[in-house]
C-alpha cells in the first residue's frame, strides 16, 4: 500500500491548522517533533487509551493535510513529521502552535 502525500506547494494553512486542532493529533505531532521516524504502534502506546482504529483516522488527517509522512513497513506504518516542508511553506507556524500547546498544558 502506498499513501498519497500532498506536494509541499499543495499544503494549505487551513488544512494544517484543522489537523493540528485536535488534541490527539497535536499530541502525536509533539511526539514526532522530537525527530526521527516512529512506528504507529509506539505512538499509540505513548498516547494511551486511543485505539488503533481511531489513530488510523488521525494519521490520515495529518497525512492529507501535509503534516506527516506515513510509509508502510511490514505490518506497521512509519511516521515522520514534515517539518522542513511546513517550515518552508509557513515559517514559524509549527513552532508557534507547539509552543502554544505547551503553554496550554501548563495552565490547564
Residue 61 domain flag: yes
What tens digit of pLDDT does each residue of 27-60 get? 999 999 999 999 988 888 888 867 778 888 999 9
- Number of structural domains (the chain) is 1
Residue 2 domain flag: no
Give me the domain span that covers residue 15. 8-107
Beta strands in the chain (DSSP E): 38-39, 68-73, 76-81
| CATH number of the domain that residue 102 is part of | 1.10.10.10
What tens digit of pLDDT does each residue of 58-98 get? 999 999 999 999 999 988 899 999 999 999 999 999 999 99
Amino acid at each position: 500500500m502506498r499513501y498519497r502525500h500532498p506536494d509541499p506547494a499543495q499544503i494549505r494553512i487551513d488544512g494544517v491548522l484543522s489537523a493540528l486542532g485536535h488534541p490527539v493529533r497535536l499530541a502525536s505531532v509533539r511526539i514526532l517533533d522530537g525527530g526521527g521516524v516512529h512506528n504507529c504502534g509506539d505512538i499509540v502506546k505513548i498516547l494511551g487509551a486511543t485505539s488503533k482504529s481511531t489513530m488510523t483516522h488521525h494519521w490520515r488527517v495529518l497525512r492529507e493535510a501535509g503534516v506527516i509522512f506515513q510509509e508502510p513497513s511490514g505490518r506497521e506504518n512509519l511516521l515522520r513529521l514534515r517539518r522542513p516542508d511546513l517550515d518552508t511553506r509557513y515559517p514559524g507556524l509549527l513552532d508557534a502552535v507547539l509552543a502554544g500547546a505547551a503553554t496550554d498544558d501548563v495552565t490547564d
